[in-house]
Chains A and B, each alone.
Chain A
Amino acid sequence: MLSKKVVITYPSGLHARPLSRFMVLIKSFKSHVTLVTPKGEVDCRSIVNLLTAAIKQGTEVEVQVSGSDEEVALEKIVDFLENLSE
């Protein structure tokens, strides 16, 4: 398993349209992705978990990736979270 910490800087947090694109990204990898937030662990295959987690601006999340493509996946996911936009 690989992991890295990221702070969500996008003003609206991980919300709305970014969330749909985030799901598409997650599904493109074979690896299993979990976000560890101050409120608990979020299984990223689940839109329901991501919605109820309501990750806001300023939250530090740890991205945990495990699977055959974990290296690429971690890099792409961290990049996505650091550069959130509409």
Chain B
Amino acid sequence: MQKITMKKPASKGVVRGEVFLYRPSVLQADKSSISPKATAQELGRFVDGLASARRRIVELAEKSEIFRAHLDIADDPFIHETVAEKITKEYKNAELALEETANQICLALSEVDDEYLRERAADIKDVCTRIMRRLKGVSFEGLNSIDKPVILVASNLTPSDAASLNPNYVLGIITAEGGNTSHVAILARSMEIPAIVGMTGITDIVASGRDLILDAVEGVVILDPDAATIDVYEKKAKDFQERKLALKAISKLKAETTDGHKVSLCANVGNLQDIQSALPHGIDGVGLLRSEFLYMESQGFPSEADQFLAYKTAAQKNKGETIIRTLDIGGDKSLPYYQFEPEENPFLGWRAIRMCLEMVDVFGCQLRAILRASAFGKVKIMYPMMISIEELEEANALLNTAKKELKATGQAFDADIQVGMMIETPAAFVLAKDFAKRVDFFSIGTNDLTQYLLAVDRGNFKVASLYNFLHPAVLRSVKAIIDAGHEAGIPVGMCGEMAGNELAVPLLLGMGLDEFSMTPSQVPEVKFIIRNWSYQEAAELAEKAINASSLTEIMTILESIPKERTKDGPYKLA
């Protein structure tokens, strides 16, 4: 038995099966040159090969967007011209001319600093291989020869390979190459086939016919498992399947307790693509849009127009509300075009709202962009890192200026836009009652709050073990913040990691938290937990935890939770 551990599975699931090692023959061009008289004939061979390959791509393109893109590649004049030039001027044979052209393009793409574009090299190669097979008169075996359930192992899979794959027979996929945005990863997720990609060297270790367990939850591959291991994993596979069905069954339902208390489950997102991929998880809205991506991805402070477009798109993408956090830069996040002075304690330094209140032009520009987007969806503004009422008043004054500027130029915005703040500093927690009278909502940022309350830098491994958001000081603070908000009649959410943590969820539910915002993939699990509790029981649990004096006591309370109320199952929250 051999066990190999990897970190990130591309598509979750647990399966056991026989290995099918796929090694498509690599077609290589003959390096010999042709006689100058034969160029017309050689060019004719290329044109015929291309035409034949194109006919097949047209068929495939009828039902697949990937192959519609392949059609663009097959029709690309740059490829045609380059190949023709190599044949007619350099006297290269058609195969060699094609191979060199493909390699040139792939090399150019490998230098592009965008993962999506780099992955398109796979499409160029796939189309060229298709033409190459026609030139060489080799037929395409693909994965058609698979006639029983197997776990497919390959160095990589092209879209053409994937199109020939029978999902009834392919139980799981392991590839040596590729990242989580590669074709094979996307395909595996859409077909719900468990998969691990980028497992370097896997094709050298396995052979067809060997027994293999693919645990694409934990990211483990076990070769030739023994009987005891097989038992363990068969149970794990069954549990996973049952849990998957259970989560699917509730995907369209509300996050509601057994006694009818509703909360909203939202997504923390870092860019527009994140929103797109969050939607299938059944989110109620965006609880935290980190606006930093606009600043980090551009070459200078982004213009109002650029920001407006991004915020508008964000607001239109999801049906619920979109909470946009104003720029939270500094600390550990810097900008390529702005020189931050080195600081002794960056987390206690010039960052987030402190910086925005000084760079009023940058802040005003962002506020106008957010306001303009509010005409197109349910947009809310959230200030980070607040420590004083003065800061809040100053920020709101700038917001009023922004509103006036827009009014003067006749631009539409939501005049009643809600303005909230993060509670992530001890000062904001202590002043929560005072802040609550002056804002429309709170969102508790537990990552920073925990760090500041416990005086622990969790990036420092020597003290990282002291960092724990279940620490009684953190729990009591969270409770006090929720109570302060409710007393003033405003909703309280949370956008730190704690909101998606399986142990913390029942406590937060019981404390009365209104909105849980988390990494989108955690939403189904959290919903599952919430639907297994009654609000009253959760409140009793929270009450007990609040009164506990030590982390040990709190852990004991949490361990006493009956299994059926936890997300007890074969896998943990990521």
Contacts and interface: CB of A to CB of B under 8 A. Distances in A.
B397 interface: no
B306 A43 contact: no
Interface stretch (B44-52, B294-302, B431-439): B294-302
Contact of A43 (B72, B77, B116): B77
Contacts of A1: none
A48 B76 contact: yes
Given A10-B309, A20-B72, A86-B313, A52 B116 contact: no
A9 B105 contact: no
Interface string B258-301: 00000000000001110010000000000000000110011110
Contacts of B299: 58
Contacts of A2: none
Contacts of B140: none
Interface in A10-43: 10-12, 15-16, 20, 23, 43
B68 A20 contact: yes
B72 A23 contact: yes
Interface residues of B, number: 35
Contacts of A49: 78
A46 B73 CA distance: 8
A52 B271 CA distance: 23
A23 B68 CA distance: 11
Interface in A40-76: 43, 45-49, 51-52, 54, 57-58
Contacts of B306: 9, 11, 57-58
A66 to B, nearest CB: 16
B408 interface: no
A16 B68 CA distance: 13
Nearest to A52: B108
B73 A48 contact: yes
A15 B118 CA distance: 12
A11 B373 CA distance: 15
Interface string B51-73: 00000000000000100110011
Interface string B456-476: 000000000000000000000
A48 B78 contact: yes
Contacts of B113: 54
Interface on chain B toward A: helix, strand, loop, or mixed SS? helix
A51 B70 CA distance: 13
Contacts of A45: 76-77
A51 B271 contact: no
B69 A47 contact: yes
B109 A52 contact: yes
Contacts of A20: 65, 68-69, 72
B309 A9 contact: yes
Contact of A48 (B124, B271, B276, B297): B124
Given A12-B272, A58-B298, A86-B313, A46 B78 contact: yes
B117 interface: yes
Most A C-beta atoms less than 10 A away, residue of B73, B79, B309: B309
Interface in B111-134: 112-114, 116-117, 120, 124
Interface on chain A toward B: helix, strand, loop, or mixed SS? loop
Nearest to A20: B69
Given A11-B294, A57-B297, A47 B72 contact: yes
Contacts of B78: 43, 46, 48-49
B276 A86 contact: yes
Contacts of A51: 109, 112, 117, 120
A11 B42 CA distance: 45
B105 A48 contact: yes
Most B C-beta atoms less than 10 A away, residue of A12, A23, A48: A48
B557 interface: no
A15 B117 contact: yes
A54 to B, nearest CB: 5
B76 A47 contact: yes
A46 B77 CA distance: 6
B194 to A, nearest CB: 26
A52 B77 contact: no
Contacts of A23: 72
Interface string B77-119: 1110000000000000000000000000100110011101100
B112 A52 contact: yes
B162 interface: no
A47 to B, nearest CB: 4
A15 B273 CA distance: 12
Nearest to B69: A20
Most B C-beta atoms less than 10 A away, residue of A16, A43, A57: A57
B114 A54 contact: yes
Contacts of A46: 76-79
A12 B78 CA distance: 25
B305 interface: yes
B313 A85 contact: yes
Contacts of A43: 77-78
Closest 9 CB pairs of A and B: A46-B78, A47-B72, A54-B112, A52-B108, A48-B78, A11-B310, A9-B306, A45-B77, A46-B76
11 contacts: A9-B303, A10-B309, A15-B114, A15-B116, A16-B116, A43-B77, A45-B77, A46-B77, A48-B124, A51-B117, A52-B105
Given A9-B309, A47-B73, 12 more contacts: A10-B309, A11-B294, A12-B273, A15-B116, A20-B69, A20-B72, A45-B77, A46-B76, A47-B76, A48-B76, A57-B298, A85-B313
Interface of B: 65, 68-69, 72-73, 76-79, 105, 108-109, 112-114, 116-117, 120, 124, 271-273, 276, 293-294, 297-300, 303, 305-306, 309-310, 313
Interface of A: 9-12, 15-16, 20, 23, 43, 45-49, 51-52, 54, 57-58, 85-86
